Structure 1
Amino acid sequence: MTSEREDFNLTGPLHLTDVDWKNVDHRRSVAACLVQGVYILERDRQENRQGPEALATPWWELFHFRLHSQLVDDADHCIFGAIYEFKSACDCNHLTNGSPRYVIAFRGTLTKGDAFLRDLEMDIHIIKNGLHRTSRFEIAMQAVRNTVAEFGNSNIWLAGHSLGAAMAMLAGKTMAKMGVFLEAFLFNPPYLSAPIERIKDEKVKHGIRIASSFLAAGLTVALRARQQKNLSEDPFVALSAWVPCLFVHPGDHICSEYVGYFEHRKKMEEIGAGEVERLATQNSFRGLLMSAMGKESEEPLHLIPSANLVVNLIPAQDFKEAHGIHQWWRPDLDSHSKVYNYR
């Protein structure tokens, strides 16, 4: 059954008839629509909607993109991503007007159809910090590498929502470690942590974060000493020049911790505890505890050194609205953005 939210003419940004690629709101809206296009590609496949019955095409054609290729999971053959190519009048046009040349987009979890079980499996891998070991991510990563190798890293965007944002973030981090910094639009990216941001009392919330930082920093120092690692080694330095755009809603417990994560770093610097936080911010308690028990721990997927954090200030009626992709192309979106650079 077709949902109204799948139909561009009913829920798409019909107001966006002339895209200004230097306008941050337009860029955000287009990136979100391209991610939505991946959702609808998979829904078209599930419902066997073809030709004039297919609903996906308008989500990218209005913005002068064409579907370059689909990214298909090798386990259940669902469509989890897409590569879009911008159709400019001149090959050099994207260099002058700010448009991307290619956009690699990933959808999030679909609760409808036969993709759900595989998507749920990916969600569990995120919780276990093992997304990088999945065949789906390897397919995604290979697509990113191939696109960069063929066309260079200039004007290539990554975009994703929820599970797809985690996929895009991991791909972006992987490329950044090689010195390739791709522009990224990460909508409602998962942050795996206790929901401290939901605590209403600011003093209690701040106190918990400070205590957690000192504990994490202390564990880090102790573990590095035991493993004979240099404390001056900072794995975040190689990533710090990559500044992805993170789009979060305070009412979405899946991603709202990013607000506290970055704000707390700033507050720790203000009270003279910046060095403590620089140690703490790179590690998750899960990883530290695994290392303490002598087990191999992976780099936390969700932790990043720098970001342009965009917070939707419009209250959501429920979690579904707070976590949804549709909020990010609203013409009346009221948001606050702030760039956090790791130093």
Structure 2
Amino acid sequence: MASERDVFELSGPLHLTSVDWTDVDHRRSVAACMVQGVYIMQRDRQENRHGSQALAPSWWKFSNFDLQSQLIDDADSSIFGAIYKYKPDPLPNYTVSTNSIPSYIVAFRGTITKGDAFSRDLELDLHFVKNVLHQSSRFEIANQAVRNLVASGNQNIWLTGHSLGAAMAMLAGKNMAKNRVFLESHLFNPPFVSAPIETIKNKKVKHGLRIAGSFVTAGLAVAVKMKNNHHQRNNEFLELAEWVPCLYVNPRDHICSEYIGYFGHRVKMGNIGAGGVERLAAQHSIAGLFMDAIGKESHEPLHLIPSANLTVNLKRARDLKEAHGIHQWWRRDQQLESRTYR
């Protein structure tokens, strides 16, 4: 039996009777629904729901999108992503610039805990923790799909994803940004590999730990600066600065909440005259620097970025499941606070 949360008419953004593409709340809601569409496509597949019984199409049709193609994992044949194409309204609102409407949206789902996709999703979660998600065949499929869209001359492309899917979208967006193609990106509950410092309630202790961490990380970065690829990595990180993805996080979600401290701490370090230390520390992970220090190959931290528009949901979630869920991002009764960091 289908979950009530899978049914658009029961849990979708029914308040969006029409989409105002100049409204940031509408844009966020549409992006989140595209991700939900991928989740439901995979659940439709698992439950053998086809044709009129399929629940997924309602999640993209309400905003005038058609499904152009599914992205299929070659390891388990699960649906992990989708490319949606905008279908212009026959009675368009000419007061809205078409530049504000995405021609295509590429969406990626996160981990599904039930069914035959779980073991593969869990494997890729571990790939992310180990900083090698970019080496997986699933990401190669995702990245190639984005590259093909861009190569076809389409620049008005959105990337969006939730949890593991947000990590996939972030990686694809970073690759495009390194080629000077800056795609609008909406990343929901993107994972951040770090000790959960943001969960500490004592602000002085939290701030003290972050300061200590910054000086340790920056010190390690200086210690290994003679490595052949070190300066190249610094340059690659700075080249991403013009790409400003939209990140959506919940403070009670320890999977993504460290982005709050990651960006907020930069401002505090600047206020105490240690901005240079933090700019260096923000580019590196201690684990990666340690690997460099002992002569083993390490990879650029997948989750670290120089710029972002960070939106925090301040409404208290009942539990981790709600705090990490995709549904919160199209609901009207949220307390959202946004800030752009560059």
Specify the TM-score bucket, using the shorter chain as the normaliser: over 0.9
Q: 1:42, 1:232 → 2: CA distance?
A: 37
Q: Deviation at 1:208?
A: 0.7
Consecutive unaligned residues in structure 1, runs of 5 or more: none
Q: Provide the aligned C-alpha RMSD in A.
A: 1.8
Secondary structure (helix, strand or coil) at the match of 1:235 reads helix
Query: What letter matches 2:30 in structure 1?
Result: V
- Equivalence map 1:1-343=2 (5 Å): 1-89=1-89, 95-96=97-98, 98-153=100-155, 155-225=156-226, 233-341=234-342
Q: Deviation at 1:152?
A: 2.5
Query: What letter matches 2:152 in structure 1?
Result: E
TM-score (norm 2): 0.96
Query: What letter matches 2:50 in structure 1?
Result: Q
Secondary structure (helix, strand or coil) at the match of 1:224 reads coil
The answer to whether the Cα contact below 8 Å between 1:21 and 1:97 also exists between their aligned partners in 2 is no
Query: What letter matches 1:109 in structure 2?
Result: T
Q: 2:3, 2:143 → 1: CA distance?
A: 31
Number of residue-to-residue matches in the alignment: 340
Q: 1:228, 1:162 → 2: CA distance?
A: 30
Q: 1:207, 1:7 → 2: CA distance?
A: 46
Query: What letter matches 2:141 in structure 1?
Result: I
Percent identity over the alignment is 65
Q: 1:10, 1:18 → 2: CA distance?
A: 17
Secondary structure (helix, strand or coil) at the match of 1:114 reads coil
Q: 2:15, 2:234 → 1: CA distance?
A: 49
Query: What letter matches 1:139 in structure 2?
Result: I
The answer to whether the Cα contact below 8 Å between 1:221 and 1:231 also exists between their aligned partners in 2 is no
Q: Deviation at 1:113?
A: 1.0
Greater Cα offset, 143-152 or 169-178: 143-152
- 1:303-342 deviations in Å (ceiling 9; x for gaps): 000000000011000000000000000012210000000x
Distance 1:206 1:231, change over 3 A: farther
Q: Deviation at 1:234?
A: 3.4
Q: Deviation at 1:151?
A: 3.2
- 1:248-303 deviations in Å (ceiling 9; x for gaps): 00000000000000000111111111111111000001101111111011000000
Query: What letter matches 2:297 in structure 1?
Result: E
Distance 1:240 1:265, change over 3 A: same
Q: 2:296, 2:99 → 1: CA distance?
A: 50
Consecutive unaligned residues in structure 2, runs of 5 or more: none
Distance 1:229 1:255, change over 3 A: closer
Q: 2:135, 2:233 → 1: CA distance?
A: 29
The answer to whether the Cα contact below 8 Å between 2:103 and 2:154 also exists between their aligned partners in 1 is no
Q: 2:129, 2:176 → 1: CA distance?
A: 22
Q: Deviation at 1:95?
A: 5.0
Distance 1:231 1:88, change over 3 A: closer
Q: 2:77, 2:310 → 1: CA distance?
A: 34
Query: What letter matches 2:324 in structure 1?
Result: H
Secondary structure (helix, strand or coil) at the match of 1:310 reads strand
Q: 2:271, 2:232 → 1: CA distance?
A: 22
Q: 1:248, 1:54 → 2: CA distance?
A: 30
Query: What letter matches 1:67 in structure 2?
Result: L
Distance 1:226 1:130, change over 3 A: closer
